[in-house]
Amino acid sequence: MITIGSRKSKLAMWQTEMVARALNEGGMETQINSMETKGDKILDVSIAKIGSKGVFTEELEVQLAAGITDIAVHSAKDMQSLLPAGFTLIAFTEREKVNDVLLSTDKSMDLADSSRPVKIGTSSVRRRALLRHYYPHVEAVDMRGNLQTRIRKMQNGDCDALILAYAGVKRMGYEEMIVMEFDEKKFIPPVGQGCIAVETSTSLDAAKAAMIRNCLNNKESEACLLAERGFLKKLEGGCSIPAFGLAVLENDEITLTAGLASLDGQNILCREARGSRRDAEQLGKRVGEYILENGGREMLVEIRRQQP
């Protein structure tokens, strides 16, 4: 029996049920324990102000440490770059398309039209910074809550459109509301977007952990996520900084494009580098070091000064 911890939102449960089905098909019985995390409960404050470490994971890790659950299922983009002692990620699932998308009930929405005032809802500091950089005429408004809550707020007039991850939109069946797909080479996604991560306590029985990993882990996703997370770890970053990173694997070579934006979107630092999949994490760290040494360290000081 594999006991799985999950957030209660519809998207989190969709992802958890997908993991459970894969384990069932691998011959393992499963049981799901769902709960609300700090990030689910506090909706009137931005994630950056709540704190970037463990906003969506802390309570699930309490269950892992106590042995109440064997694994926890997360959106990989919600995972802090450095896990608390005693926890590890043992699997990454096959990755969905990584792009950000624009959702609206107005099919004529066109961000290229600078004469048209538009309010876009988002809770992401990265998306706000990139909007300010590429679409300075657009007004970004804070928008927290699960996908269904955000769509309801938009329909009630709180904003004209929403920026969301394609993966979540597809998994929840709202593809017909997409009016624009952002180019991932320009509007680079956050580390881990489109991928599901499986976390466990290091005290979990090694044989059980190996069985779960062998059933769930996608080696291509893992190589890319190790590079992306290596970059974010070097920046000591999480949800509260406008960092971005996307790794692409071709044959045995990884191409990582990653960087950091200022909160006002005026400055964007970006670096592309290639390396062997065997050295994925080190590739990420090298890119992170380059960003830090070329203005990133000062940019982070300013970001943290503005968002203590």
163 and 209 part of one domain: no
pLDDT at 50 over 70: no
Residue 236: predicted pLDDT:
87
Backbone angles phi, psi at 101, to 5 degrees: -135, 160
pLDDT of 307? 78
Q: How does residue 145 score in pLDDT terms, banded at 50, 70 and 90?
A: confident
Amino acid at site 94: E
Are 82 and 29 contained in the same domain?
yes
Domain that includes residue 268, residue range:
219-308
188 belongs to a structural domain: no
If one counts the domains in the chain, the total is 3
Q: Are 36 and 43 in contact (CB under 8 A)?
A: no
Both 171 and 142 in one domain: the answer is: yes
Closest CA to 56 of 69, 38, 33, 44: 38
In a domain, 189, yes or no: no
Instruction: Tell me if 81 is assigned to some domain.
Output: yes
Decide the pairing of beta strands 196-201 and 71-75: antiparallel
Looking up tokens 């004469």 gives 115
**Tens of pLDDT, residues 208-224:** 999 999 999 999 999 99
Q: Based on the fold, state whether residues 176 and 237 are members of the same structural domain.
A: no
Distance CA 181, CA 260 (A): 21
* pLDDT of 146 higher than 90: no
Cβ–Cβ < 8 Å for 259, 244: yes
Instruction: Looking at the structure, tell me whether residues 234 and 289 fall in a common domain.
Output: yes
Question: Model confidence over 99-128: pLDDT tens digits?
Answer: 999 999 999 999 999 999 999 999 899 999
In this structure, what CATH number is given to the domain that contains residue 266?
3.30.160.40
Same domain? For 207 and 88 the reply is: yes
| Whether residue 147 sits in one domain with residue 75 | no
Which residues, at least 6 apart from 99, have a Cβ–Cβ distance to it below 8 Å?
165, 166, 181, 182, 183, 184, 187, 189
Same domain, 8 and 85: yes
- Give me the pLDDT at residue 37, please: 54
**Mean pLDDT across the stretch 4-16?**
93
Q: Are strands 268-276 and 253-261 parallel, antiparallel or unpaired?
A: antiparallel
pLDDT reading at 80 higher than 80: yes
- At 56, the pLDDT band (50, 70, 90 cuts) reads low
Backbone angles phi, psi at 100, to 5 degrees: -80, 150
- Res 49 pLDDT > 50: no
Domain match, 21 and 155 both = no
pLDDT band at 301 (very low <50, low <70, confident <90, very high): very high
Longest dimension (CA), the chain: 61
Handedness of CA 198, 201, 202, 206 (dihedral sign): negative
Catalytic residue set: 78
Same-domain check for residues 204 and 86: yes
Give the pLDDT mean for 279-292: 98
pLDDT level of residue 39 (50, 70, 90 thresholds): very low
